[in-house]
Amino acid sequence: MRTYQITAKQLILLALATAIFASGAVLMYDRFGADLLGRLVGAKNDKAAVETATGIEGLTDPSVATDEKNNQEVYAAASPGVVHITSTVLVEDWFNAYQKEGSGSGSILDKEGRILTNYHVIQDAEKLEVKLSNNKTYEAKVLGADPDNDLAVIQISAPANELSVVPFGASKNLFVGQKVLAIGNPFGLDRTLTTGIISGLSRPIRSEMTQRLIEGAIQTDAAINPGNSGGPLLNSRGQLIGINTMIYSPSGGSVGIGFAVPVETAIRVINDIKQYGRVRKARPGVNFIPLANLGERFVRAVDIPVNEGLMVVEVQSGSAAERAGIKGATQAVRYGRYQIPIGGDIIVAMDGQKIASRDDYDRVLNNKNVGESVRVEVIRDGRRLTLPLTLDEGPRFSRSRM
């Protein structure tokens, strides 16, 4: 075995290098160590708390914070970005017209004063007012809306230093049992915090305005009441994961069954409004009747070869469907008190997915953008055809007067 001998000179140099390294380590720890260690274990020192108290960066790691501490920090970080929206609507009856006020909540999106809320909060409003956390009130205008998903973006002209932005999270990896927090203005009580868990995912809810399916709704038992609409549903890191939209309640108050539109849906709506000033809908341009609505007796009576599908009654002129060669009704038959157009194509699948109802149709199109293609399978004269179709923008939504 070889052995190594260290000379006295080498020992002195080694001791000197060790001393220099130790001194440097002490200095580094004095300057950065406490904060670094705090970050590693999820704590924060007083200096960090002061500097980041208004931002999500200042939150203690939820995995090491007590529940009470997390609630306190999320509220402190997010509540300044939650606004109180008051809408004034003109109501007419047989005798006169009068103004009626409603209220809701919203989340500040950016320093330009854009605010995300529910469409039903601002629907038909003659006047909109937004109150910030500093109790200052500003008049708002509607930038765009998506009634199908019950979302709208409004804007105020306020100094940037008065606007606290609610940061976006993600709703794709949520799980049942996950903690959530809701901030809003129930019954006009400003910036109220409630907490709960995610009770269910991908719940089938419908827009009250259009009856269209809202995809991927989040169910929560966090208390949501009238006035919470449009406010943020937050995760334990203070990030917006949903927009509180509706409740199931025989009594009208919270019974622990609330629903939020997922943030990914909101992001698509916001981006469209920012870029185009409206929400673009990818639509083929057909009007149809689901065969299920007519019943098997009618299907047999007019000799339709399938029991499920969407019977095309009209193809809009100049639409993507017309260019793809989809055919509308060629005649009409009387069925009870109604004239039913028949003879058109029957849509039975889109991109390989079975189509038996409007919900099936919407599910496919909700994941498509204007300009994308879809393969439409139809039954025509007893034969199955596949028609490639490039989607156009559907009819524009006419926003309320402002």
Q: Encoding tokens for residue 105?
A: 């909540």
| Cα 196 from Cα 218, distance rounded (Å) | 12
Q: Is 229 a catalytic residue?
A: yes
| Cα 99 from Cα 91, distance rounded (Å) | 6
End-to-end CA, the chain: 91
Phi, psi at 68, each rounded to 5°: -65, -45
Segment (H or E) for 194: strand 192-206
Q: Which of 79, 120, 148, 221 is catalytic?
A: 120
Burial class (CB in 10 A: 0-12, 13-18, 19+), 155: buried
Q: Is 84 a catalytic residue?
A: no
Paired strand residues for 89: 100, 125
| Cα 130 from Cα 154, distance rounded (Å) | 10
Contacts of 237 (CB under 8 A, 6+ apart): 56, 59, 62, 74, 169
| Cα 285 from Cα 319, distance rounded (Å) | 5
Distances (CA, A) of 188 to 153, 192, 242, 301, 377: 21, 9, 21, 57, 51
Contacts of 78 (CB under 8 A, 6+ apart): 56, 166, 181, 183, 232, 234, 238
Q: Which of 105, 164, 207, 229 is catalytic?
A: 229
Q: Which of 146, 148, 150, 392 is catalytic?
A: 150
Paired strand residues for 155: 114, 141
| Cα 151 from Cα 109, distance rounded (Å) | 13
Paired strand residues for 303: none
Q: Is 120 a catalytic residue?
A: yes
| Residues designated as active site | 120, 150, 229
